[in-house]
Amino acid sequence: MKNQYFGDTRDLFKYDLALHIIEGIWSIRALTFVPMLTPDDGSRQGSRTDHRKVTAGYRNPGLVHRLAGCVRDGKRDIREICPFFEERGISVHFHGMTFSHHARPEYYSALPDAWLRDALVLLDPDIGMEVARPTGKHLLFSEIGDLSRRLEGDSVLMIFQYIPRVNRPEYLGRRLKELERIIPQESVAICDPWVAFFFVGQEDRIIQQVGELLLRYRDRYPALLLAR
């Protein structure tokens, strides 16, 4: 994640979906935001900020207003989203360390155990899960496995993933099979044409609840695709 992306159309989908999950599972008390923050790179990525041209999140006027205001006022800093959740009675744990490919173990070990208890843990890399030659823009499967084993109570991992220009159902299915190799529990995913979110947990019961909530979310935004 980079601050230059904050407030773009992908963020509307991401934060609206996170809110939907937290409000739908009473035992999840907090959002633990692990942004894998890297420096801005001067590119035009993050320039899609017309929130009228989105497939999800547009039915949340409060969030649309918050993100549009941050873009308009030049407040493109991911910390600006924290008050949006706090105003709704949701505790936010923000992992503010800058992410480095060369210091990955230290980044994740710095996450307090208490932040992984009864929380939606949003993992937000620049691109998504690892590929053949992962970089600092990717989340490693070993890291997903380690974090999933550290989860306590009814915590769930929510993983951001850009989608390459491939067949979406096939891509989601392949990624879910990759997760199966490291996590025994079922995982679920939802996507629009550009980004996907994968959900991983320690308790099948909680993932079943997440799946039911994703069905309701898709009913609200029919252009989305579900996979499990």
How many whole angstroms separate alpha carbon 59 and alpha carbon 53?
12
Close Cβ partners of 226 (under 8 Å, ≥ 6 residues apart) = 188, 189, 190, 211, 214, 215, 218
Find, among 228, 126, 227, the residue nearest to 168 by Cα: 227
Digit-coded pLDDT (tens) for 170-212: 999 999 999 999 998 889 999 999 999 999 998 889 999 999 9
pLDDT in tens, 158-175: 999 999 999 999 999 999
Domain residue ranges in the chain: 3-227
| Under 8 Å between Cβ of 120 and 30 | yes
pLDDT of 46 higher than 70 = no
Distance, first Cα to last Cα, the chain? 25
Count helices and strands (H / E) in the chain. 7, 9
What is d(CA 95, CA 166) in angstroms, rounded to the nearest whole number? Answer: 32
H or E element in which residue 215 lies: helix 204-220
54-78 residue pLDDT tens: 899 999 999 999 999 988 998 888 9
Alpha carbons 125 and 183: distance in angstroms, whole number: 20
The DSSP bridge pattern shows strands 30-34 and 91-94 to be parallel
Give the mean pLDDT of 69-96. Answer: 94
Query: 215 pLDDT band (50/70/90 cuts)?
Result: very high
CATH of range 3-227; options 3.40.50, 1.20.120, 1.20.1070, 2.60.40: 3.40.50
* Spatial distance between the Cα atoms of 197 and 155, rounded to a whole number of angstroms: 16
6 pLDDT more than 90 = no
